[in-house]
């Protein structure tokens, strides 16, 4: 069995004195922490999400699969949102970020502690069958790490920094939107979650060949500093209202809580809906 390859930015992280741990999702080395990380970042933090759960669902059955697997609102093309994923008994698996990047294409990202469980659960659902026939025959579900490199830029200065790369009639996405943009000469997909409990945050999906250039360029801003996955999870645990619900063993949350967080839709057409009541 081949060893998982390190991400395209591995050498960049080594130069910054990074410590690595095996990803619980892919087994590939991901950044645990850097030699120097501020306890309380004030400008913007930059994280390479390589090693986190990062999946592409595609095909004519992708829409039906996502609708069954994720409990949040049905997204139109160009929208992004946090959405709950539940087991059949109503236990909360995780609350990943979902972006609809095409009519038959969705991206799922989860940098939280349940990312590995989420990947396994979605893989299980993707291969579900009904009366011996596949429930989603035209569905591809795959790790997207080798397609586009996922970077997270977040903090009060994030929008100001990223807007420096956008020119002409193009603009950064509004909250809840995902766009294809030109960041100087780099074509990238940029998503901005709509979440009042988070500081300005942008998920930037960058072509592998351009990732190193953009990474170095972003770090040239004095207000931008890199953080590893441990620090990122610590920051998220203080900001995400469902953070306590995804620590430890999965348990069933109250539907009222899920609704107040905006991660579940009112219908009952998703896995776990009946158990929620």
Query: Domain for residue 263, yes or no?
Result: no
How far is the C-alpha of 103 from the C-alpha of 43, rounded, in Å?
36
What integer pLDDT is reported at residue 130 of this predicted model? 78
Query: Domain for residue 179, yes or no?
Result: yes
Query: Domain for residue 267, yes or no?
Result: no
Domain tally, the chain: 2
Q: Which of 89, 86, 149, 72 is nearest to 122 (CA)?
A: 86
Do 31 and 134 lie in one domain? The reply is: no
Query: Domain for residue 269, yes or no?
Result: no
And the tokens for 201?
A: 């945050």
DSSP code, position 135 = S
Q: Say how many Å lie between the first and final Cα of the chain, rounded.
A: 45
Q: Which of 100, 115, 92 is nearest to 25 (CA)?
A: 115
Which residue range forms the structural domain that includes residue 80? Answer: 54-144
Do 102 and 60 lie in one domain? The reply is: yes
What integer pLDDT is reported at residue 137 of this predicted model? 95
Neighbour-count burial of 252, counting CB atoms closer than 10 A to its CB (0-12 exposed, 13-18 middle, 19+ buried):
middle
What integer pLDDT is reported at residue 6 of this predicted model? 80
What integer pLDDT is reported at residue 3 of this predicted model? 59
CATH number of the domain to which 197 belongs: 3.30.1360.120
What integer pLDDT is reported at residue 1 of this predicted model? 39
Pairing of the two strands 201-207 and 186-192: antiparallel
Cα separation values, 100 from 15, 63, 180, Å:
35, 9, 12
Element (H, E) at 102: strand 97-102
Distance of CA 66 to the CA centre of its chain: 15
Cα separation values, 94 from 46, 111, 116, 174, Å:
23, 10, 10, 25
How far is the C-alpha of 256 from the C-alpha of 262, rounded, in Å?
10
Do 1 and 23 lie in one domain? The reply is: yes
- Which of 126, 144, 162 terminates a domain? The answer is 144
CATH number of the domain to which 101 belongs: 3.30.70.1400
What integer pLDDT is reported at residue 269 of this predicted model? 95
Whole-model pTM: value is 0.94
Contacts 24+ apart (CB under 8 A), 170-173: 172/202, 173/202
pLDDT (tens place) for every residue of the chain, 277 residues total: 355 678 899 999 999 999 999 887 777 888 999 988 877 777 999 999 999 999 999 999 999 999 999 999 999 999 999 999 999 999 999 999 999 999 999 999 999 999 999 999 999 999 998 777 899 999 999 999 889 999 999 999 999 999 999 999 999 999 999 999 999 999 999 999 988 788 899 999 999 999 999 999 999 999 999 999 999 999 999 999 999 999 888 899 999 999 999 999 999 999 999 998 7
CA atoms 29, 202, 232, 90: torsion sign: negative
Do 113 and 149 lie in one domain? The reply is: no
């Amino acid at each position: 069995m081949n060893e998982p390859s390190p991400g395209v930015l591995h050498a960049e992280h080594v130069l910054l004195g990074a410590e690595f741990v095996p990803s619980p999702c892919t087994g590939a080395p991901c950044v645990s922490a850097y030699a120097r990380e501020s306890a309380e970042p004030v400008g913007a933090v930059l994280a390479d999400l390589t090693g986190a759960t990062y999946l592409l669902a595609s095909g004519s059955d992708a829409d039906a699969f996502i609708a069954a697997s994720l409990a949040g609102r049905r997204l139109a093309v160009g929208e992004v949102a946090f959405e709950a994923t539940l087991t059949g008994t109503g236990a909360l698996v995780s609350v990943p970020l979902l972006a609809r990047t095409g009519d038959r294409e969705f991206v799922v990202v989860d940098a939280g502690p349940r990312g590995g469980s989420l990947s396994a659960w979605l893989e299980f659902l993707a291969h579900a069958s009904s009366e011996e026939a596949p429930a989603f025959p035209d569905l591809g579900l795959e790790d997207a790490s080798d397609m586009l490199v996922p970077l997270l830029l977040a903090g009060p200065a994030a929008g100001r920094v990223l807007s420096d790369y956008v020119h002409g009639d193009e603009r950064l996405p509004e909250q809840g939107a995902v766009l294809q943009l030109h960041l100087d000469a780099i074509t990238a997909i940029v998503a901005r979650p709509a979440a009042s409990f988070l500081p300005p945050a942008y998920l930037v999906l960058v072509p592998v060949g351009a990732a190193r250039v953009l990474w170095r360029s972003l770090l040239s801003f004095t207000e931008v500093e890199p953080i590893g996955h441990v620090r990122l999870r610590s920051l998220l645990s203080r900001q995400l209202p469902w953070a306590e619900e995804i620590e430890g063993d999965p348990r069933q949350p109250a539907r009222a809580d899920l609704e107040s967080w905006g991660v579940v839709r009112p219908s009952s057409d998703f896995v776990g809906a009946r158990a929620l009541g």
